[in-house]
Amino acid sequence: MARDPRYDILFEPVRIGPVTARNRFYQVPHCNGMGRKHPTAMAAMRGVKAEGGWAVVCTEQCDIHVTSDTEREIRLWDDRDIPPLARMVDRVHGRGALAGLEPTHMGYHAGNFIGREIPMAPSGRPAHGILPFHARAMDKTDIADYRRWHRNAVIRGKKAGFDIIYVYAGHGLSLPMHFLSPRHNRRADEYGGRVENRVRLLREVIEDTKEAVGDACGVAVRLAVNELLGPRGITPDEEGRAAIEMLGELPDLWDVNVSEWENDSESSRFAEEGYQEEHIAFVKSRTTKPVVGVGRYTSPDRMVSLVRNGVLDMIGAARPSIADPFLPRKIEEGRIDDIRECIGCNVCVGTANQNTYMRCTQNPTMSEEWRRGWHPETIPPADTDDRILVVGAGPAGLEAARALGQRGYDVTLAEAGAELGGRVARESRLPGLAAWGRVRDWRVGQLRKLPNVEIFMASEMTADTVRETGAGMVALATGAVWRRDGSGRYHDFPLPGAAAQARRVLTPDDIMAGAEPEGPVAVYDDDHYYMGGAIAEKLARDGHAVSLVTPARAVSSWTEFTLEIDRIQTRMRELGVTLHLSHAVTRIDEREVEIEDMYSRRAARIEAGAVVMVTAQDPVDGLYRDLMADEDANRKAGIRRVSRIGDCYGPGPIAAAVFGGYRYARELGEAIGDGCPWKRETVELAAEV
Ligand code: ADP
Ligand code: SF4
């Protein structure tokens, strides 16, 4: 297909100082959990983005010195760190894109657990978050040292072959930003006080960087123009505007956003596409240099309007490039409905924050490009002539059927219900989660293009009907249900009263199916991801008096990793949900539940006409057990293998179900062998002992 001429503007080249980007698609720096520990996997992932049409592909933050150490990110501490990054540059160059590097000194944000150095800051202060250190105030020697370290890293970056090198002043994560923000800088010298002084270090580092790269690389500045903290922090009216006005023509590109990371990477539960526009829109009028911004943009029309309306010159993306590394190519080839849109769930962020290979709900091949040899667009053709039956059209079944169909297999997808999508269809109707429906929509759209996949609705399969299909391979993607008896992480056994009061005990499945609890509702959340908070939110919005009881110290505590935790706490309070943190439900009685404080074991009672148990899920695997009960009958029916995938195999996040579906399509349920099934980079032993 040909490109729609309306989108031509997105494919105009953009000059970034001495280098030229082939189009306006710009993958901004983003963490990925692979970084320095898995450099070849990281390089391959970046290379696939370049192949997918991004004109610029950047690294994550790159620690420049031992006084700013993080375990997971890449580094350029000395020349030994150049080869892993050069490998990434080669992959990116090999596919026609420019490679960008983001040298970083995290200042007070760095725990420095590796090198045990005392963190540094413009003024003395406690280190970030709850790190049990203090950062020391930098003197003039420290400032000179920092500038030299940055310059050294820049020179190494140039040697590695990067085309664009950043000065990083974003996300509350770097020294030039700490100097700019009033909340960190209480200095009385020429680096503190008036905004002209607070911007000095940023100016100096941009000048150092320009001088170090000469005309080999473009120099980009990533600047947080708003910390969303009012006058305590950087505001667009004061520091943001002043920095752009004073330094507007100095770098070759401005990459602007809001800080901190949880504001920059807001999830779709809390922010719509384009949520940063109001904060960054002023920048372009203050500089002639190209401006990049982000906002989870996946709509090409929106991208065009950003360029035409003079908001941005280049469309920045982290998450949309993770969910669909081929987004630019699809626009270029006129394949708009093939774009796999990011759902804004922040599972990528959450898994990178666990310091390991990032995963993506929409893109099961993310981080698997090198170690498993998976590619987001291509898949090996079928190598057997099996006919394959997939039972259940939730995210696992849809993805398995889609990817098997892409391989060329004849696939039958049977779904018991009247709609496609399984849990995704249900969960996307919870408040704020509508964008999650994209998991279903993209797969259904792709399936409609595959004549070799037949979909049967309202087809509840039994062992007999499965055997009648004549399929040689069977994948059961029959999902999971929430447990009703209150057992889970805190309680190993069913809760007293759960059976006796069964009429008043509900699960998220009941609420999503439209059950209307009577009277005040207690939500018991021993799951700790989004579901407990989302159910409480729905019930409160529906007008119920809601209490949320959880053994955790915060509602939806795993969302600390997806950067949503604070917003969820705020929302609970705004909706008037009564919180019983560090408490467990211990008994269910008529009109009341008993709860206990986890630490003191003191009991209390709260009024509740109904209890919603959000504790654990059980696989729906009755069909599997029925089939396996008569393997002879399976053989006679021509079935070679029966596999469980997705939540039916192991309940978990949607990302795991999609991954399970894709993996099945690649491996057809092959048993895991004795060795490690993927490639890995092992530690290189030192020559000296
Ligand atoms: P997953 O997340 O693993 O994809 P879901 O719970 O989202 O699981 O989806 C499971 C789907 O399987 C649901 O749409 C459900 O209606 C369907 N299903 C369950 N049992 C059967 C069955 N016996 N026959 C056909 N479809 C089934
Ligand atoms: Fe988007 Fe979720 Fe994938 Fe992250 S994990 S890129 S937020 S779909």
> In sequence order, what are the residues at sequence separation of 6 or more whose Cβ sits closer than 8 angstroms to the Cβ of residue 364?
374, 399, 655, 658, 659, 661, 662, 663
Please write the tens of the pLDDT for every residue from 319-332: 999 999 999 999 99
| Band of pLDDT at residue 546, cut at 50, 70 and 90 | very high
Q: Quick check: 72 pLDDT over 90?
A: no
Closest CA to 153 of 133, 137, 174, 136: 174
Average pLDDT for 182-193: 97
171 is catalytic: yes
CA 503 to chain centre: 38
Burial grade of 82 (CB within 10 A; 0-12, 13-18, 19 or more): middle
**C-alpha pair distances (Å), 94 with each of 158, 370, 554, 618:** 17, 16, 47, 47
Token representation of residue 121: 């800051």
Q: Does the CB atom of residue 647 touch ligand 1 within 6 A?
A: yes
676 is catalytic: no
Query: From ligand 1's centre to the CA of 409, what distance in Å?
Result: 21
Please write the tens of the pLDDT for every residue from 120-150: 999 999 999 999 999 999 999 999 999 999 9
Query: From ligand 1's centre to the CA of 394, what distance in Å?
Result: 6
Token representation of residue 459: 């087809």
Average pLDDT for 82-89: 98
DSSP 423-484: HHHHHTTSTT-GGGGHHHHHHHHHHTT-TTEEEESS----HHHHHHTT-SEEEE---EEE-S
Tell me the backbone φ, ψ of residue 329, rounded to 5 degrees. Answer: -60, -35
What pLDDT shows up at residue 682? 85
Chain position carrying tokens 């297909």 = 1
Q: What does the alpha-carbon distance between residue 294 and residue 265 come to, in Å, rounded to a whole number? A: 9
The answer, yes or no, to whether the previous bond of 278 is cis (omega within 30 of 0) is no
Residues 153, 65 contacting (CB under 8 angstroms):
yes
Q: What does the alpha-carbon distance between residue 389 and residue 351 come to, in Å, rounded to a whole number? A: 32
Q: Does the CB atom of residue 415 touch ligand 1 within 6 A?
A: yes
The secondary structure of residue 342, as a DSSP letter, is -
Query: From ligand 2's centre to the CA of 423, what distance in Å?
Result: 17
What pLDDT shows up at residue 577? 98
**C-alpha pair distances (Å), 21 with each of 10, 16, 339:** 11, 7, 22
Chain position carrying tokens 């800088």 = 185
Take atom 1 of ligand 2 and give the residue whose Cα is closest: 342
Q: What does the alpha-carbon distance between residue 225 and residue 325 come to, in Å, rounded to a whole number? A: 28
Tell me the backbone φ, ψ of residue 657, rounded to 5 degrees. Answer: -65, -45
Instruction: Give percent above pLDDT 70 in the chain.
Output: 100
What pLDDT shows up at residue 128? 94
Residue to mutate (ligand 1; options 361, 456, 467, 620; most atoms within 8 A of CB): 620
| Band of pLDDT at residue 70, cut at 50, 70 and 90 | confident
Q: Does the CB atom of residue 202 touch ligand 1 within 6 A?
A: no
Average pLDDT for 268-293: 96
Query: From ligand 2's centre to the CA of 296, what distance in Å?
Result: 10
What pLDDT shows up at residue 19? 98
What pLDDT shows up at residue 683? 79
Bridge partner residues of 169 (DSSP): 223
Nearest atom of ligand 2 to the alpha carbon of 296:
1
What pLDDT shows up at residue 30? 97
What pLDDT shows up at residue 35? 87
What pLDDT shows up at residue 92? 98
| Band of pLDDT at residue 64, cut at 50, 70 and 90 | very high
Please write the tens of the pLDDT for every residue from 470-529: 999 999 999 999 999 999 999 999 999 999 999 999 999 999 999 999 989 999 999 999
Nearest atom of ligand 2 to the alpha carbon of 319:
6
Average pLDDT for 548-569: 98
Helix ranges, 481-637 (H): 508-512, 530-541, 565-574, 622-628, 631-636
31 is catalytic: yes
Q: Does the CB atom of residue 323 touch ligand 2 within 6 A?
A: yes
Token representation of residue 570: 């705020």
Nearest atom of ligand 1 to the alpha carbon of 660:
3
DSSP 143-164: HHHHHHHHHHHHHHHHHHT-SE
The secondary structure of residue 240, as a DSSP letter, is I
What pLDDT shows up at residue 426? 98
Please write the tens of the pLDDT for every residue from 349-360: 999 999 899 999
264 is catalytic: yes
Please write the tens of the pLDDT for every residue from 432-463: 999 999 999 999 999 999 999 999 999 999 99
Describe the chain by its helix, strand, coil percentages, rounded to 5: 35, 20, 45
Take atom 20 of ligand 1 and give the residue whose Cα is closest: 478
Query: From ligand 2's centre to the CA of 555, what distance in Å?
Result: 22
> In sequence order, what are the residues at sequence separation of 6 or more whose Cβ sits closer than 8 angstroms to the Cβ of residue 186?
122, 123, 192
Take atom 6 of ligand 1 and give the residue whose Cα is closest: 479
Chain position carrying tokens 């590109």 = 253
Instruction: Give percent above pLDDT 90 in the chain.
Output: 95
Query: From ligand 1's centre to the CA of 288, what distance in Å?
Result: 54
Q: Does the CB atom of residue 345 touch ligand 2 within 6 A?
A: yes
What is the enclosing helix (H) or strand (E) of 302? helix 300-308
Q: Quick check: 1 pLDDT over 90?
A: no
Q: Quick check: 421 pLDDT over 90?
A: yes
Chain position carrying tokens 């056994």 = 493
Selected catalytic residue, list 38, 171, 544, 580: 171
| Band of pLDDT at residue 71, cut at 50, 70 and 90 | confident
Selected catalytic residue, list 108, 168, 297, 490: 168
What pLDDT shows up at residue 513? 97
Output the CA angle 300-305-310, nearest 5 degrees.
135
Nearest atom of ligand 2 to the alpha carbon of 358:
5
Please write the tens of the pLDDT for every residue from 192-229: 999 999 999 999 999 999 999 999 999 999 999 999 99
Residues 616, 488 contacting (CB under 8 angstroms):
yes
What pLDDT shows up at residue 689? 84
Q: Does the CB atom of residue 512 touch ligand 1 within 6 A?
A: no
Query: From ligand 1's centre to the CA of 415, what distance in Å?
Result: 7
Closest CA to 477 of 634, 629, 624: 624
| Start-to-end C-alpha separation, the chain | 60
Q: Does the CB atom of residue 295 touch ligand 1 within 6 A?
A: no
Q: Give the mean pLDDT of the chain.
A: 97
Residues 373, 380 contacting (CB under 8 angstroms):
no
**C-alpha pair distances (Å), 331 with each of 10, 15, 58, 96, 442:** 9, 21, 21, 17, 15
Query: From ligand 2's centre to the CA of 243, what distance in Å?
Result: 32
Q: Does the CB atom of residue 623 touch ligand 1 within 6 A?
A: yes
